[in-house]
Amino acid sequence: MSQNPLLTLQHQHGPLPLDCVQTEDFVPAIDAALEDARKNIAAITENPAPPTFENTILALEASDEWLDRVSSVFFHLLHVDADDALQALAREIPPKLSAFRNDVVMNRQLFERIDTLDQQKASLSLSDEEAMVLENHLLSFRRNGASLSEADQKTLREIDQELSTCSPTFSEHVLKATQAFTLWTDDETVVSALPESAQANAKALAKKEGRDTEWKFTLDAPSFIAFMTYAPDADLRKKIWQAYGSRCVEGEFANQDLIRKILDLRYRRAQLLGYRDHVHYTLERRMAGNRETLEKFYAEMLPVVMPAAHRDLEAVRACKAAEGGDSTLNPWDYAYYAEKCKQQTFELNQEELRPWFELESTLNAVFSLVKRLFSVEFIPTDTLPVNHPEVRCYRVQDVDNGEEVGHLMIDPFPRSTKKPGAWMVALLGQGRWQNEVKRPTVGIVCNFTPPVEGKPSLLTMDEARTLFHEFGHAIHELLSDCHCRSVAGTNVYWDFVELPSQLLENWLQEPEFLREYALHVDSKEPLPEKYIEKIQASKTFQKGYAAARQLTFGLLDLAWYTRQPDELGPDLIAFEQEATRATALFPFQEGVAMSPSFQHIFSGGYASGYYSYKWAEVLEADIFDVFLDKGLYDQETASDLRNEILSQGGSQHPMELFKNFYGREPNPEALLKRDGLIA
């Protein structure tokens, strides 16, 4: 019998065994790592020496190193290769981890040692990072029940145990509902209007099932988006749109009861800890600070965004009306006629641009950008174990001194077992491991248009933008220069974490960058000037609509988590409709709702924090204005960005980091001007 590769992670920091771990390896490894972590915690609390930063805080940070590595493997594979056996473990393993976390943060002896250090901090000569780490741990204990009575702690444990199974189940339902729908067609007139890459992908999916004379379309992003944008058959667009929008509303994978349960548990948890609701609990550790600030943020945005959104929608409606017939614009018409409107207004067809955004050349473009800005380079390597042959790996090193910066893994294409969307994951976080500061291993996971029948993967500009976005997260982790993992890299306030990712997207639409790096897949010729001019002319196209969509998600998130459970009413879909009425751009459709598949707020980390995307846009637009003023590759600005923000992780309050870079607090004017929402 082969050795469990997860057991060897106890004493080594090397690559995670993504290539050889078996499903049956996880439970024994998790159990062993949990036992090891418990012994480490006991050693801290039983230490007769007075508490010091080293014997309490650093020891606490190191207590779960092995558990952290094993958990990283489990959750990464759960998101990228979630077969039925692994999904079954998602109902068994998270409750064990939740119980352990509760054991730690409710440990009174441990809390007392940390509290003692906090009272002595003025005399401890702590660095800014150490002071933040101490504060974070103290607040974590307080915010997770360390000060509660034994009876209330018992209740909190029960709540956390239930929550630990709710999120994986929610995600599992979304994945299975996504997989359950297929649109088959043998009508060549429908398919011929789609991009060549979408046609080839649909044909390849059909051939896999032995249906060579048909085309198969799914709810995976490349297939769904291409169909919604280019398929001329409105009835088929409606069918696939309704399938996407009704995921988990009813039926076998319904999530409505689970939503009620999650909301009730999070509300009860917040109340038990002394907070008005989950929003107040969350915002205490966010830049926004409190619900009133967030409501003011939305109140200032809505009067600017919504008129622009309605103008955008009217332009698309006029485009449809110009074709004759029914001028009613339905939600399943929007993407199709918005693309037509863009083509007519700017003579810009997104599909025409694909040859200049082939995956490999787009990767090289972002590699070159990061090298110019931050002097790090990406060198292909085959030394990292991978879970799928499509995953490509890179060693990241400093150009100036050759020192290792970290490793990067990119998993670009959809699979039936992969979670939808795109994300960055810190497989091994930067910071202290086994008493040495180590460099990180970072993963970027996407669902891009795949290569088909020997033809390369050609990205849309939106897909290229997604790559740049996730790369911004990766750079935040890779350039981190902290000692403690708990504040390193992307371990920052959630309304600050999107700053680097959204910032990096800006270069993709700048003429200077496009002229140099957008190269044709065959000829290697740069993107023609006529296309660059069209991209510039269309920069603010439908930005009002896009902003309204972001506000819709944010307001819905805020509504769910500020209402008491008994205020939701019997109909959750009706509640969603009322919560989003101020930003609704289409009449509500029967049986369709966002919330049952809204993973960000019910099974991700954005509960009471979806506003973070728009908040971070304000920050990054302000910062990119400095590059526009001083130069797209200005070394002084890039150095300041690296030293004052990217390398700092969460070692200081994010507003202080922003002010260290800029010299003032952020101003939303740059964002509103960039998006054409104000003059």
Average pLDDT over every residue of 291-316: 94
Q: What is the mean pLDDT of the chain?
A: 94
Task: Give the model's pLDDT for residue 530.
Answer: 94
Average pLDDT over every residue of 184-207: 93
Rounded to whole angstroms, what are the CA distances from 224 to 176, 221, 230, 355? 16, 5, 10, 21
Average pLDDT over every residue of 581-594: 96
pLDDT greater at residue 350 or residue 148: 148
Tens of pLDDT along 375-410? Answer: 999 999 999 999 999 999 999 999 999 999 999 999
pLDDT at 566 over 80: yes
pLDDT greater at residue 452 or residue 241: 241
pTM: 0.89
Task: Give the model's pLDDT for residue 679.
Answer: 74
**What are the extents of the domains in the chain?**
5-105+107-143, 181-245, 355-537+613-674
Helix, strand, coil percentages, rounded to 5, for the chain = 60, 5, 35
Tens of pLDDT along 258-289? Answer: 999 999 999 999 999 999 999 999 999 999 99
| Residue 7: pLDDT band with limits 50, 70, 90 | very high
Tens of pLDDT along 166-192? Answer: 999 999 999 999 999 999 999 999 999
Q: Which residue's structure tokens are 């759960």? A: 78
Buried b (16+ CB within 10 A) or exposed e, 156-177: bbebbbbbbbbbbbbbbbbbbb
Average pLDDT over every residue of 654-665: 94
Tens of pLDDT along 516-528? Answer: 999 999 999 999 9
Q: Which residue's structure tokens are 């863009």? A: 342
Give the residue numbers marked as catalytic.
Answer: 470
pLDDT at 2 over 80: no
Tens of pLDDT along 436-477? Answer: 999 999 999 999 999 988 889 999 999 999 999 999 999 999
Q: Return the HEC string of 504-526.
A: HHHHHHCHHHHHHHCECCCCCCE
Task: Give the model's pLDDT for residue 678.
Answer: 85
Residues in Cβ contact with 106 at an 8 Å cutoff, skipping those fewer than 6 apart: 144, 145, 146, 148, 153, 156, 157
pLDDT at 577 over 90: yes
Structure tokens at 367: 């590699």
Average pLDDT over every residue of 510-539: 95
Q: What is the Rg, in whole angstroms, of the alpha carbon atoms belonging to the chain? A: 25
How far is the C-alpha of 569 from the C-alpha of 561, rounded, in Å? 14
| Residue 350: pLDDT band with limits 50, 70, 90 | confident
CATH of domain 5-105+107-143: 1.20.1050.40
Task: Give the model's pLDDT for residue 328.
Answer: 92
How far is the C-alpha of 432 from the C-alpha of 63, rounded, in Å? 11
pLDDT at 1 over 60: no
pLDDT at 309 over 60: yes
Rounded to whole angstroms, what are the CA distances from 345 to 48, 314, 342, 465, 538? 75, 14, 5, 22, 9
Average pLDDT over every residue of 498-509: 96
Task: Give the model's pLDDT for residue 453.
Answer: 83
Q: So what CATH class is 355-537+613-674?
A: mainly alpha
Q: Integer distance in angstroms from the first to the last C-alpha of the chain?
A: 69
Task: Give the model's pLDDT for residue 454.
Answer: 86
Average pLDDT over every residue of 241-267: 97
Tens of pLDDT along 63-72? Answer: 999 999 999 9
Task: Give the model's pLDDT for residue 113.
Answer: 97
pLDDT greater at residue 678 or residue 401: 401
> Is 73:95 a contact under the CB 8 Å cutoff?
no
pLDDT at 651 over 80: yes
Q: Which residue's structure tokens are 């929003």? A: 279
